[in-house]
Amino acid sequence: MFEICLTRITWLHRIPAGVKLFALAAAGAAVFLTDDVRILGGLVAFAALLPLSAWLPARPLFRQIAPALVLIAALAAFHLVTGDPRDAFLVSARLGTVILLAAALTFTTRVSAMVDALERVLTPLKCIGVDPAKAGFTLALAIRFIPVLFTMIAEIREAQRARGLEGSVFAVVMPLLVRTLRMADDLAEAIAARGYDGN
């Protein structure tokens, strides 16, 4: 989840974070605006070649996109079963493109660089009340805490399995809710203690 590879700096690392974010957003919009099979095929092939061209480490990359691949396979299978191979292709190509590009981005870009880029882009929106620093900080926190959340879910599920409650969604959701709320409190306090006060 959101791994980054900084042991070897590739050409993808050298592209400014803002450019990469913009390219990802543009590609994300493009795949949902077109339903031309050739364009989508081209895009997904490009997205798949990108990490290869930079020799990004295959195993962590695969680990990161594997859950999404399962989802894509399930969606594609659904469309195939309902007798629509073209839709199966469209949905796989769209999601596949976005996921591969997002992986290429997160593998080669520091979160702090993404945050800085986002803050720069949002600066003109200050006049309509957007706070670029807050938006950037929110992004950083989200990326930092998604893996923490997954670890928490795994711990809770394990604890519930040990009690024989593995079937119960409630037994996972309740402790998860309690722990995330407590964590949010602690985090807010820790951020204040580190001298951040939203300006």
Partner 1 sequence: MIEFDNVSMRFGDLTVLEPFSLSLAERRVAVIGANGSGKSTFARLINGLLAPSTGTVRVDGLCTAKDARAVRRKVGFVFQNPDNQIVYPLVEEDVAFGLKNLKLPKAEIAARVDAVLARYGMESLRLRPAHLLSGGQKQMLAISAVLVMEPAYVVFDEPTTLLDLRNKRRVAAAIAEMPQTAVVVSHDLEFLTDFERVLVFEAGRIVCDAPPAEAVPFYRELMAAEAGGV
Q: What residues make contact with partner 1 under the rule CB under 8 A?
A: 2-4, 6-7, 110-112, 140-141, 143-144, 147-148, 151, 183, 186-187, 189-197
**DSSP characters over 122-159:** HGGGGGGT--HHHHHHHHHHHHHHHHHHHHHHHHHHHH
Give CA–CA dist 147/153, Å, rounded: 10
Q: How far is the CB of 59 from partner 1 (least distance, A)?
A: 15
Q: How far is the CB of 194 from partner 1 (least distance, A)?
A: 5
Cβ of 75: how many Cβ atoms within 10 Å?
16
Longest CA span, the chain: 58
Nearer to partner 1, 7 or 82 (CB): 7
Nearer to partner 1, 68 or 148 (CB): 148
Nearer to partner 1, 3 or 35 (CB): 3
Q: How far is the CB of 27 from partner 1 (least distance, A)?
A: 23
- Alpha carbon 97 to its chain centroid, in Å, reads 13
